[in-house]
């Protein structure tokens, strides 16, 4: 097992290993006295992993209650958020109790938001079971639900008390769901680590998954610890996300988050070059890396089908919106665009 420390307004450890789910009770007991733990999961992950988690926690002296939401992005909304809060209240959880998010980024984001707001905040632990959640959403403390106008529009910064990542859980992921995590991993390499990008280009991912997750978490930690509340440097982590979120929303979530981010990164790199925000056109090499893992690279939607959705992105501030562009492989910066420039950015990225 590998452990990394994440230091921000609160500090916590992320444990990465193979087969460590059955030891989660011991890992949780390192940070908490015996208490009640509400395990929140989804309808796919629950039948696969809930029992292992429950047995381990019970053996370690915790009282366990469980609640499941339907799997998929369309559950990351106010309805299921409210349902989780009602479940916590009816299970009589107090501030000294804990939540566990057992699942992918959807379960992690909605459970984290419930933890941030129930009783004005109780502790929670992330147990990511998708590669995407391990590589990205389980660390950093962003929690959210979607509103009908856009992705992640209601949320809070609420760091987990610990992250327990058992890479053995990736064995049951469909290939496409695994690829969602590859997109975020390629994003991390593109904004922060050229050598990591070259490693991913060689296809060295499946055989070294624990090291890859650790590198993902280290890169994310470095952005988060210098700008936890997303006012500047952390925004680099949004590379590909403005167009990506619009594609994801426009598809009614039929295009999953990582697939949409893949399209968003290629589109942003192309637009940045055409509009002079990047000196080089990185879109081909990014496409090559993504396609190696079966990810899409072109938007099925025209610019005019995305502009309105993208304009509601939460990175908008007044009449400007920040987009992230690459100055090199491994280096990113932010450009502030007015809404006319932003429309051109999307048009140049995906075609009119």
Q: Please select the residue that binds ligand NAD; options are 100, 114, 132, 329, rule is CB under 6 A.
A: 132
**Using CB under 6 A, which of the segments 67-75, 278-286, 309-317, 318-326 binds ligand NAD?**
67-75
The verdict on 129 binding ligand NAD (CB under 6 A) reads yes
DSSP codes joined into one string, 200-226 = HHTTTTGGGHHHHHHHHHHHHHHHHHH
The verdict on 46 binding ligand NAD (CB under 6 A) reads no
| C-alpha distance across the termini of the chain, in Å | 49
- Residues in 209-248 at the binding interface with ligand GLY, rule: CB under 6 A: 230, 234, 237-238
Pair of tokens at residue 206:
């499946």
Q: How is residue 324 annotated by DSSP?
A: E
The verdict on 161 binding ligand GLY (CB under 6 A) reads no
Question: Which of 123, 140 has the CB closer to ligand GLY?
Answer: 140
On whether the CB atoms of residues 69 and 42 are closer than 8 A, the answer is: yes
The verdict on 295 binding ligand GLY (CB under 6 A) reads no
Q: Which long-range contacts link 241-244 to residues 24+ away (Cβ below 8 Å)? A: 241/324, 242/268, 242/310, 242/313, 242/315, 242/321, 242/323, 242/324, 243/267, 243/268, 243/299, 243/306, 243/310, 243/346, 243/349, 243/350
User: How near is the Cβ of 114 to ligand NAD at its closest, in Å?
Assistant: 14
CA distances from 203 to 89, 93, 166, 187, 327 (A): 47, 45, 22, 15, 24
69 binds, among ligand NAD, ligand GLY, none (CB under 5 to 8 A by kind): none
- Residues in 232-291 at the binding interface with ligand NAD, rule: CB under 6 A: 256-258
Q: Please select the residue that binds ligand NAD; options are 76, 215, 234, 270, rule is CB under 6 A.
A: 76
Q: Could you tell me which of 66, 59, 125 has the C-alpha nearest to residue 98? A: 125
Binding mask 320-349 for ligand NAD (x = CB under 6 A): ------------------------------
72 binds, among ligand NAD, ligand GLY, none (CB under 5 to 8 A by kind): ligand NAD
User: How near is the Cβ of 103 to ligand NAD at its closest, in Å?
Assistant: 5
Q: Please select the residue that binds ligand NAD; options are 29, 52, 71, 327, rule is CB under 6 A.
A: 71
User: How near is the Cβ of 29 to ligand NAD at its closest, in Å?
Assistant: 24
Determine the Cα–Cα distance for residues 72 and 50; give it in Å rounded to an integer: 17
On whether the CB atoms of residues 18 and 171 are closer than 8 A, the answer is: no
The verdict on 160 binding ligand GLY (CB under 6 A) reads no
**Using CB under 6 A, which of the segments 25-33, 172-180, 293-301, 329-337 binds ligand NAD?**
172-180
Determine the Cα–Cα distance for residues 276 and 42; give it in Å rounded to an integer: 44
Work out the number of other CB atoms within 10 angstroms of the CB of residue 29: 16
Which residues contribute to the site for ligand NAD (CB under 6 A)?
42, 44-45, 48, 71-73, 76, 103-107, 109, 129-130, 132-133, 136-137, 140, 142, 151-152, 169, 172-173, 177, 180, 256-258
Which residues contribute to the site for ligand GLY (CB under 6 A)?
136, 140, 142, 230, 234, 237-238
């Amino acid at each position: 097992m590998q452990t990394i420390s994440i230091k921000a307004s609160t500090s916590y450890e992320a444990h990465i290993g193979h087969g460590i789910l059955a030891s989660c009770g011991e890992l949780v007991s390192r940070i908490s006295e015996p208490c009640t733990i509400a395990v929140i999961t989804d309808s796919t992950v629950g039948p696969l992993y809930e029992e292992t988690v429950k047995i381990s926690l019970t053996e370690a002296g915790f009282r366990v209650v469980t609640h499941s939401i339907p799997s998929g992005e369309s559950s990351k909304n106010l309805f299921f958020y409210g349902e989780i809060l009602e479940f916590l209240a009816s299970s009589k959880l107090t501030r000294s109790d804990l939540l566990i998010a057992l699942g992918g980024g959807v379960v992690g984001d909605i459970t984290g938001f419930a933890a941030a707001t129930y009783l004005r905040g109780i502790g929670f632990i992330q147990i990511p079971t998708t590669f995407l959640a391990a590589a990205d959403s389980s660390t950093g403390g962003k929690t959210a639900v979607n509103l009908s106008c856009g992705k992640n529009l209601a949320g809070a910064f609420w760091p987990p008390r610990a992250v327990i990542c058992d890479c053995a859980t990736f064995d049951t992921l469909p290939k496409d769901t695994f690829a969602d995590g590859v997109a975020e991993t390629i994003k991390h390499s593109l904004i922060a680590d050229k050598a990591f990008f070259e490693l991913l280009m060689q296809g060295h991912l499946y055989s070294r998954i624990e090291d890859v997750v650790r590198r993902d978490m280290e890169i994310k930690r470095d952005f988060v610890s210098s700008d936890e509340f997303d006012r500047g440097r952390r925004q680099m982590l949004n590379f590909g996300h403005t167009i990506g979120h619009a594609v994801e929303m426009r598809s009614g979530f039929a295009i999953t988050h990582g697939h949409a981010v893949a399209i968003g990164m290629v589109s942003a790199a192309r637009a940045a070059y055409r509009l002079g925000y990047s000196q080089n056109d990185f879109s081909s090499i990014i496409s090559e890396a993504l396609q190696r893992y079966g990810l899409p690279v072109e938007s099925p939607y025209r610019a005019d089908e995305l502009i309105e959705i993208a304009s509601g992105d939460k990175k908008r501030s007044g009449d400007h919106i920040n987009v992230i562009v690459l100055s090199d492989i491994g280096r990113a910066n932010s450009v502030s665009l007015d809404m006319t420039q932003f429309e051109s950015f999307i048009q140049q990225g995906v075609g009119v």
